[in-house]
Amino acid sequence: MRSYTYFIADEFVKREFNSFELNADNVIAEVTAENFGAVIKKALRVYGKNAECEADGVKTRLEEVHEGTKTIKIFGAPFVKRDKYTFGDLVEIIRRLRDPDGCPWDRAQTHESIRSNAIEEAYELAEAVDMKDKAKTEEESGDVMLQGLFHAAIAEDEGLFSPDDIVNALCVKLIFRHTHIFGDKKAADPDEALKNWEAAKAVEKGYTSLKDKIDSVPVTFGALMRAHKVQKIIKKTGFDFADVGGAMEKVREELGEFERASGAEREKEGGDILFAAVNVLRMAGIDPEVALNGTTARFIRRFMYVEQKMREAGLELKAENIDVMEKFYRESKKVTG
């Protein structure tokens, strides 16, 4: 007997029903004239318009099911034969790639070998968001999800934890920290909601001192990101500039100290300049990591324009032609943004 999942139509359309096993048959019963539109809309999103089904016992495709149908049975199929997939399919695909007869590359990976991939994918997602590119944001969001599930699959093979365990832990965390949603706290605005989150996190993590919070900032963060995070923690103690003007004055002070320094001291003073600049951006509500990545991307686009124009002019990219390169670089700002 084929396995199947049975839904009452009014339950099927509810938001909390959002995960479906598409390799098993799904039955949606008690469809009425009132809920038919909502049922079909969600079914098409979940199963796809080409899903094979029965409408009151008559075989058809889901997009051809007509109003008046009382029971819809959507036939399950292996994921290699479907054009719609679920979270469970994603986990199974990753597991299949790690099987003894799976993909040699995927089987060879360890937590350490794919560690840098998570960082790269996170940056690519941030770039897609900055570009306001819907398709790229969707793709990169999936790639970031993949990295977490890949680590879970490796851990599952090692008998440590599974994809289900990380989903469970995440749900526990979200419920515990949103005390203003799932508890008795109140939050009238985003700032108050964040305070509730951080208070719950402190309880969860057992933080008892400022040092505990500082120590929780990963040393593996990029330098700008780590400085930004530490500054945000210290800010809550009241140790901060009165306004962004004070932070900008500190940058000018550090620049002067750098100019007067020599030898090994210049590295220290150079770090002070960057730390002071992070303060300015933080107080202006700007993420320094995002800001610098944006600048680097713009610089690359502009210099590629310079390289193209120099090639068209038959000139080499070298110091002797700096004046021409500067001219093209100024021009590139108008062309590439």
pLDDT mean over 187-203: 90
Look at strands 52-55 and 25-29 and give their pairing.
unpaired
| pLDDT for 68 beyond 80 | yes
**How high is the mean pLDDT of the chain?**
93
DSSP, collapsed to helix, strand or coil, labels residue 291 as: helix
Distance CA 83, CA 59 (A): 19
232's tokens: 């945000």
Quick: pLDDT tens for 174-191.
999 999 999 988 999 998
- 147 band by pLDDT with thresholds 50, 70 and 90: very high
| pLDDT for 1 beyond 80 | no
Distance CA 7, CA 2 (A): 16
Residues 274, 224: contact at Cβ < 8 Å? yes
Distance CA 170, CA 252 (A): 44
108's tokens: 């060879």
Q: Residue 192: how many CB atoms within 10 A of its CB?
A: 13
Helices (H) and strands (E) in the chain, counts: 15, 5
Quick: pLDDT tens for 290-327.
889 889 989 999 999 999 999 999 999 999 999 999 99
pLDDT mean over 64-75: 95
Model pLDDT, residue 121: 93
- 337 band by pLDDT with thresholds 50, 70 and 90: confident
Model pLDDT, residue 4: 82
pTM of the model: 0.74
Distance CA 331, CA 308 (A): 12
pLDDT mean over 63-86: 90
Quick: pLDDT tens for 227-269.
999 999 999 899 999 999 999 999 999 999 999 999 989 999 9
Longest CA–CA span in the chain (Å) reads 86
- 93 band by pLDDT with thresholds 50, 70 and 90: very high
